[in-house]
Structure 1
Amino acid sequence: MYKCWKCRKTVKDLDQSFVRCPYCGCRVLFKERQPIAKEVKAD
């Protein structure tokens, strides 16, 4: 799932050949991250 930078709406399906927000037409999208922090073991 992606989020539009301009209108902040969630975009679920993207056409692989054309990346654009279907609501406002903005071409800047960013991937939504999970709110859970990952724990990494460092030795």
Structure 2
Amino acid sequence: MYRCAKCNEPIRNVNALGLQCEKCGSKIFFKERPNVKKVLKSD
């Protein structure tokens, strides 16, 4: 679900308070989003 911004390692334990990357210690994360194209109808 989340990836570390520094080392790109996936984060498994997202419920921990004071979340840090286990590999590099970074506190900046990106939420992974699926590559899905959305088509919207205009009125």
Choose 1 or 2 for highest CA Rg: 2
TM range, normalised to the smaller chain? 0.7 to 0.9
Identity within the alignment, %: 36
Structure 2: segments with no counterpart, 5+ residues: none
**What RMSD in Å do the two structures reach over aligned CA positions?**
1.3
Structure 1 position 22, deviation (Å): 1.2
Structure 1: 5+ residue stretches without partners: none
TM-score (norm 2): 0.74
- TM-score by length of structure 1 reads 0.74
Aligned structure 1 segments of 4 or more residues deviating by more than 6 angstroms: none
Report the count of equivalent residues. Answer: 42
Please state how far the C-alpha of 1:23 moved relative to its aligned partner.
1.2
